[in-house]
Structures are given as structure tokens and as C-alpha cells.
Structure 1
Amino acid sequence: MKNILFLLLFLPGIALAQDHESSIRKIYDKELSTGHTYDNLRYLCKEIGNRLAGSPGAAAAVEWTRQLMESYGFDTVYLQPVMVPHWERGGKDVVKIINSDKHGSLELSALALGNTQGTGPAGLSGQVVEVKSIPELKELGDKVKGKIVFFNGPMDPKKIDAFEAYGGANAQRSSGATEASKLGAIGSVVRSLSNTINDIPHTGNQRYNPDFPKIPALAISTQDAELLSALLSEQPDLRLYLESHGEMKSDKLSYNVIGEIRGSEKPEEIIAVGGHLDSWDVGEGAHDDGAGCMQGIEVLRLFKEFGWKPKRTLRAVMWMNEENGLRGGQEYARVAKEKGEKHVAAIESDSGGFLPIGFSSSGTEEQRAKLASWEPLFRPYQVWNLDRPGGGADIGPLRDQGPILIGLKPDSQKYFLYHHTEADVFEVVDQRELELGAAAMTALVYLLDQEGI
């Protein structure tokens, strides 16, 4: 009798688990043999290229991804208007040592930071003062007045998680120019945010405080940051010449691109998945974030190829303007709230197209426990950690509407070789790793759709 009761209680659950295992195996087999993710990324990178918000490249990417999702037969494909900031680099960026006892005049590898106000063709020069952090800058007070502040705080090599190291050093790039301006500095130079010593400068966003002068802000490569620091230790009166041509122009109309497969049983419950379509104006935006966009589209394409009718509504979302404004994510959340939409989950891939090792999440204890309970289904595919805290920048504005926010977590140790640089091109993305990420995201969307959360 006890054996019969056991079978009655547990056989349905065993059968359900086996059904999930079979479906997930099918997803991986299909993506790794005939997936479209890699070829789609090739087109985005090589035929369109970089896609800074407000640029012709961004406009071309919007139209191409719209046409791509329509070609796959999604139930609905539409553009969601959003006004985005429009910054242009405008010319070559220069950081040059001009009075070195050892080298005389020496140009460094440099890129202006995003949204920076340029010097114009006349440039500017001044004595340089090195600090390792914003607190150290504040201790100097008015000693930096009339000078150029050099922020040389490296990413902490002891942090195993490269994103944790990035977060610890990011303030000097995003806020350094404003903090220096408050103390009367005339310019800002920052060490590129990379955990490798090389000669590739990294751009990235920085934010001005409108109450203080908008001083130029440029990044130099980690190799040149080491050199500049060494020269300053021997010659404290070292001077730099800065030249940049960046200019903020009027906001421009752009779009989030959204493709949808409507749910058959609970169409009011939405699962969103995707990445940000914009990139910086150097490189091709392959890892950041062409990879995440193409993975998001692939999720819905695989459902269509299998002929699966989802219970819940699935959306592939290409958010616009993550890099220098986050306007797309904010507008998407605003419209969702205005319409009374019910997102049960939002998944973002914005950590590079590397080998997936897990998912991070933020949500209620119950939501996160349900996500973690699926870990055994992912272990055969070496996706082993579903219990990390996290989420994503573009899905963050949805937080107060109640969905679980999930981020694909790849092995990103190499990410900051390419992040925000001319080196972020299609050729540095591995096809198999990219496809494994797409398969993992599709498997997770499948489970969320079948079981809810």
C-alpha cells in the first residue's frame, strides 16, 4: 500500500522532470547544431558596426533587428519610441606628456569618455596630479586647482569576480571629472578600467554635475597609466596636453525594438529577455552587447522553430541607450507600468558572449528559491550557479513592478580586455560559447514559461 501511495504522489513529478530534461536537451542540440545566434551577430557587427545611441549605426541596428524578428514570424514586432542623448566624439582624442626629462614630448593611448565636453582644437595643458581614488582627491582639496587630475586606481586583482573589481574602480571614471571640477581642476585623465596591462584605452560613460564646470575627461591605457605614474614619481612637475572634441547635441528619437510571441494560457504574464542594442562608438559592440541581443532574439526563434506555444507571453527586447543614459530601460518600465502590464520575469544578457556558468537574480525569497531549484536541470550543461544576487541595468527599472530580475552570468574573466574598446569586435566572440549562452537562456525561459515563478 505504501509503495502504491509513493507512486501516486511522486510519479507525476518524476515525469515532469523527465519532460523538462528532454526539452532542455532538445534546445541545446538544436542551438549547437543549427543555431542562428552567431551568424546574426556577425551581420550586426560587420554590416552595421558600432551603435552609439543617436548615431546612424544605432538607427540601422533598430531597423535591421525589427526586420530580423519579423522574418522569424513572431506574433508582433514593434518599435517603442524613446528620446536618447546624442553625443559625438568629433575627432581624435589626445593625451600627451609635454615636458618629460626622459622622453620630452610623448603621446599616450587615449580615448575621451562618453558625454564629455571636449577641449576643442586649441586643447589645454596643465600640471598633472595623481590620485588613486575620489576620497584621496578630496583630501588634496584646492591643491588641484588649475591642474589636471590623473585618477590611477586599478581594478583590484584580488577580486575573483571581474565585475566586482570593475565596480570598485568605476567611480573614478563615472564621477571623477565632476569631483575634480568641484575643486577647481581643469581636466581629468583616468586609468582605463581593465584588469590587464595593455595599450588599449577604454572609453565609457561619465556624468557631469550641472552646478560645476564641465571639464574634459579622457582615459588612457593601463600601460600608459603605469608609465605616467612612474614618471610622476621621478618628476612631480610633469605636464600634460589634452585635446578632445566631444559634444553633447540635442536628444534624438530612437527606439527599443520588441518582438513578441503571445501566451496561449496566461498571455497577461510577460517574460522579457534580451540585451542593449546600443554600443560605444569604437569597436563593433560584439560582447557589449551585440551578443546579448542576438541571444535574446534566438530564444524566441527556437520556440518558433520547435512549434512550441508558450503559456505566457514571451518578449525579446533590444533596449536602446544603456551605455550613456539608460533611457531605453527606463522608458520600457514606464510604459509597462502605464499599461498595467504584468512582468513575471525579465532576463538580461550583458556580461559578454562567454561560456555561461549560471544566472544571477534579484526578487523575493520565493522567486529566487524557485530559480535555484532548477539547478540540477542545468548542471549537465555545466551551468552550475543559479543562486547569485544580481540582475541587469536595463531590467532594473522594472524592479518595483514585482518580477524576478535575472542576469546571464558567463565566465567573464576576459571581458575587460574588450569592454568599451576598439577590440570588442566579432572575431573575439567564440561561436560555441555564444551559442551555449543562448541555449541556457532559452532553457530558463522554457522553465519559467512552463512552471511560472
Structure 2
Amino acid sequence: MAQQNAASDSAVIKKIYDDALTSYESYDNLRYLTKNIGGRLSGSPQAAAAVEWSKQVMDKMDLDRVYLQEVMVPHWVRGDKEEARIYNSKQIGSEDVNIVALGGSVGTGDQGLSAEVVEVHNFEELEKLGKKNVKGKIVFFNRPFDNTQINTGTAYGGAVDQRGGGPVAAAKLGAVGVIVRSMTNDIQDVAHTGGTRYQEGVEKIPAAAISTRDAETLSKLLKNDAKLKLYMRMTCETLPDVLSYNVIGEIKGSEKPDEIIVVGGHLDSWDLAEGAHDDGTGCVQSIEVLRLFKDLGIKPKRTIRAVMFMNEENGLRGGTKYAEMAKENSEKHVAAIESDMGGFTPRGFGLEGSDVQLRKLQTWKPLLAPYGLHDIDYGHGGADIGPLKGQGNVALIGYEPDSQRYFDYHHTKIDVFENVNRREMQLGAAGMASLVYLISEYGL
């Protein structure tokens, strides 16, 4: 019987891949989302358009249910000006550098901000400098990725705390601004934005990311010239919260409709470009999972729900609201799968869950490995599905594509449709659909 099931499951998975790899629908969806709507920062008109568009796409799919879930989201706007330059340098005089405001940052005021710069690599170095050496200065956080890490997501995790917590730590010591090395393993001219956080009772100071190439230049100059200054001007501000929505489509399970499998990505993106890899691909892949089931006539035993989460980038309110409503409605989630590492070549899945769940996932390796899904182990589930943790025995699963190129594009002006390969993206969608099928059939 087990051999017969394996043969049958293998045949279904083959059909999923054949359909996905010969279809252009998902890629066309990504094209529309990125080219016609563009960057979709929470609270923006583009985010609202993306909500309406994704609902319309799923409305046309003859699903059992498509609906919106209300969520209030922050509304930060970048403004019309971001500029910075090194000046008063003994070696180069004055030179422009590439910066972008960090999401949530306050502006500098129309006149901009000028100050001497002090470089640190971690919070311990900052504390050792103390108020005497920090007050009135711009703190430059310059800790690079650990490029010995094979998984660049691990390297990101080892550096990103300076972006999130740097402004508060610096402000406590009297700094007037913060510059953070961009979160990428590459040396490039493009600056990478991303969210930062302020703390009640601590002065809010302007915070920007600087390109890695300019970070290298600034660091070299500071070694011989501690008195050089940096000028920065940003016109960003935070406006009142805005009503937005998670967008949800589902196919009811034929045998266990009360057991839910979520597959999702986040609909919002940063505003610098088109949000193609982050996270347009995750959204269209999740919708593609439903399309594959419908197109192939696969009747899932458990309910499959595709969720386009809102506000992952600068608040996580969509994921938090989804989990709140799931708890309020006493819903039983058996698994949640998130795609939020780009549309690159599939490698596998990472589990936040139990030993029993991992052993079950690993029994399916013979079915998934022929399609390049070799890495099935413990890992990070995903930011949007994270709030579901603790609601019963839900398995949180992160789809893991190859990570080497993701942080070239992450949170930048070059995260555009042209940098997504259709075949790689569709391989990912098929892999997600195959795992959803297996969980639907057999549970975890």
C-alpha cells in the first residue's frame, strides 16, 4: 500500500511540475503587480491597489472563498529628497555618497544635518565610547555580513540588529544621527533600506543606510581623519495609520475542512522599486498553488488558504492580525508555509516545529529531491506566519530558495521584475504546491 501511495503521489507531483513549468500565468501576475502597481509600502495608494488587484485575481479562480481581513497599518512616507556627502575631508574634500532613509525614520529638517562621524561595529564598541565621544555626532554602524556563512540569510541575521536598534542606542548617548552599512554581502553602490525602531522616551534621530561601497570609503577616510564631517538631508515623515487588508483565498478541504494549511507571502514592499523578489514572487507563488490545485482538479483533504499579508516590512501588523483572528475564531492550523526569500532556484524547506513534524517532512524527501528540494531541516518559518506559533501544533515552514543573490536586490531600487527568472520562480511554486499536497493528504 505504501508503495502504491508513493507511486500515486509521485504522479501527482509530476503533474504539478509539468503544469507550473509550462504556465506563464504566475509570471504575468508578477509582471502586472510590479510594472502596473509598483512599490507597495503600507498605507500607500499602491498598497491599496495591490489589495484590490490580488482580490480580483483570486475572485476569477472559482475558489470556495475570497475575502479581505481588515488591518490598520502604519503610513510612513519617504519624501522627495535623500542626499548625503562627506565634506571637510583632508584627503578628498567633498564627495557625495549614496544613502536611503530607513523605514520609520524621522527627517532631518529642510536644512539637513551636519556633524562629525564616529564609526562602530557593534553595540559594545558604542557603549565603550560613551557620551563624551558620541554626543553631537553621527554614529556610523559598519558591521559587514559574515561572508563565511554559506546561507546569506544567516549572515543577514548577524548584522541586521544594528539597523533595527542602532538609532535608539546612539540617541541614548547623545548622537544626532545614524548611518548604517547596507544589509548586503556584496560591495555595491546601491543603498538598501529597511525598517528601524524607536523607543518611547528616547529622542528620535534621523537614520539612513549607506551603500556598502561608500561605507568602505567612509571607513578608510575616518582612519586618518577623525574630524571629517557628513551632511545628510532626508524629508521622510510618519503620517496617521491607514486601514488596509490581508487578502485571503481558500479551497475547502474535502475530508477535514477544519484543518487549515496556509501558504503566503507579503503584499507590501518597500517603495524604492517594484518589490519583485521581496515579496512579489512569494505572493504570486502562493496564488499559483491554488491555481495548480484548481487546474489539475486536485481535491485537497484539508483546507488550503493563500494569504497575501499586509505590512510585513514596517510593522508586521498583517501577520499579527491574521493570528489574532485565527485564535478568536478557534481555527486549527496544521501548517503555514511562507515564501519570503525571493524567487530563486529551490533548495528546500526550513521548519519551526517538532521532531515528529520534521521526521514526517523528511519521509517525503524521495518525492521532492528529484526536483531539487534536498534541504529539509529545522529553520526559520517566516515573519508573517510567526505569530501563529503556539496556536496548537502548527508547523511553521519557510520555503528556502538559493540564497546567494537575494541580498543583492533586497530592499533596493534594483528589486525589479527583470531580475526574476520565470523558471526559477515556477519551480518554487511547484515545490510549495507539492508540499501542500502532501500535508493535505497525510497531515503532520
Match of 1:208 in 2: 198
| Aligned residue type for 2:269 | S
In 2, Cα distance between the equivalents of 1:144 and 1:439?
52
Post-superposition CA distance 1:204-257 (Å, at most 9, x none): 000001111000001110000000011111111011111111111111000000
In 1, Cα distance between the equivalents of 2:339 and 2:286?
8
In 2, Cα distance between the equivalents of 1:51 and 1:332?
19
Task: After superposing the two structures, state which structure 1 stretch, 380-389 or 222-231, moved more.
Answer: 380-389
User: Could you tell me whether the CA contact under 8 Å between 1:368 and 1:404 is conserved in 2?
Assistant: no
| Aligned residue type for 1:409 | E
Partner secondary structure for residue 322 of structure 1 = coil
In 2, Cα distance between the equivalents of 1:327 and 1:318?
12
In 2, Cα distance between the equivalents of 1:236 and 1:283?
35
Post-superposition CA distance 1:160-186 (Å, at most 9, x none): 110110010001111101100000000
**2:104 aligned to which of 112, 115, 126:** 115
Match of 1:5 in 2: none
Matches within 5 A, 1:153-168: 153-168=143-158
Match of 1:233 in 2: 223
User: Could you tell me whether the CA contact under 8 Å between 1:287 and 1:353 is conserved in 2?
Assistant: yes
C-alpha deviation, 1:363, in angstroms: 1.1
**1:430 aligned to which of 417, 421, 435:** 421
User: Could you tell me whether the CA contact under 8 Å between 2:358 and 2:378 is conserved in 1?
Assistant: no
Matches within 5 A, 1:140-219: 140-142=129-131, 143-219=133-209
User: Could you tell me whether the CA contact under 8 Å between 1:41 and 1:290 is conserved in 2?
Assistant: yes
Matches within 5 A, 1:370-449: 370-401=360-391, 402-449=393-440
Partner secondary structure for residue 432 of structure 2 = helix
**1:325 aligned to which of 277, 292, 315:** 315
In 2, Cα distance between the equivalents of 1:400 and 1:374?
25
In 2, Cα distance between the equivalents of 1:102 and 1:368?
57
**2:238 aligned to which of 245, 248, 252:** 248
Matches within 5 A, 1:15-414: 15-142=4-131, 143-401=133-391, 402-414=393-405
| Aligned residue type for 2:129 | L
Please, what TM-score do these two structures have when normalized by structure 2? 0.99
In 1, Cα distance between the equivalents of 2:125 and 2:274?
36
Post-superposition CA distance 1:137-175 (Å, at most 9, x none): 111111101111011110111111101100100011111
In 1, Cα distance between the equivalents of 2:357 and 2:181?
40
C-alpha deviation, 1:72, in angstroms: 1.0
Post-superposition CA distance 1:360-408 (Å, at most 9, x none): 0111211111111111111111110111322100000001112100010
Post-superposition CA distance 1:14-48 (Å, at most 9, x none): 00000000000000011001242211111100010
In 2, Cα distance between the equivalents of 1:390 and 1:104?
46
Match of 1:4 in 2: none
Count of residues in correspondence between the two structures: 442
C-alpha deviation, 1:103, in angstroms: 2.3
Partner secondary structure for residue 390 of structure 2 = helix
In 2, Cα distance between the equivalents of 1:249 and 1:140?
35
Partner secondary structure for residue 158 of structure 2 = helix
| Aligned residue type for 1:250 | P
| Aligned residue type for 1:430 | N
In 1, Cα distance between the equivalents of 2:122 and 2:345?
33
In 2, Cα distance between the equivalents of 1:324 and 1:390?
19
In 1, Cα distance between the equivalents of 2:24 and 2:249?
18
Please, what TM-score do these two structures have when normalized by structure 1? 0.97
In 1, Cα distance between the equivalents of 2:352 and 2:181?
31
User: Could you tell me whether the CA contact under 8 Å between 1:151 and 1:176 is conserved in 2?
Assistant: yes
User: Could you tell me whether the CA contact under 8 Å between 1:53 and 1:279 is conserved in 2?
Assistant: yes
In 2, Cα distance between the equivalents of 1:397 and 1:374?
27
C-alpha deviation, 1:95, in angstroms: 1.7
User: Could you tell me whether the CA contact under 8 Å between 1:354 and 1:433 is conserved in 2?
Assistant: yes
Post-superposition CA distance 1:296-323 (Å, at most 9, x none): 0000111111122211111000000000
User: Could you tell me whether the CA contact under 8 Å between 2:347 and 2:372 is conserved in 1?
Assistant: yes
| Aligned residue type for 1:369 | R
In 2, Cα distance between the equivalents of 1:36 and 1:353?
15
Unaligned runs of 5+ in 1: 1-11
Match of 2:3 in 1: 14
User: Could you tell me whether the CA contact under 8 Å between 2:338 and 2:384 is conserved in 1?
Assistant: yes
User: Could you tell me whether the CA contact under 8 Å between 2:379 and 2:398 is conserved in 1?
Assistant: no
User: Could you tell me whether the CA contact under 8 Å between 1:76 and 1:259 is conserved in 2?
Assistant: yes
In 2, Cα distance between the equivalents of 1:36 and 1:20?
25
Question: What is the root-mean-square deviation in Å for CA atoms of aligned residues?
Answer: 0.8
Post-superposition CA distance 1:79-136 (Å, at most 9, x none): 0000001100112212211211232221101100000001121111111001111121
User: Could you tell me whether the CA contact under 8 Å between 1:28 and 1:436 is conserved in 2?
Assistant: yes
In 2, Cα distance between the equivalents of 1:398 and 1:293?
19
Larger Rg: 1
User: Could you tell me whether the CA contact under 8 Å between 2:68 and 2:247 is conserved in 1?
Assistant: yes
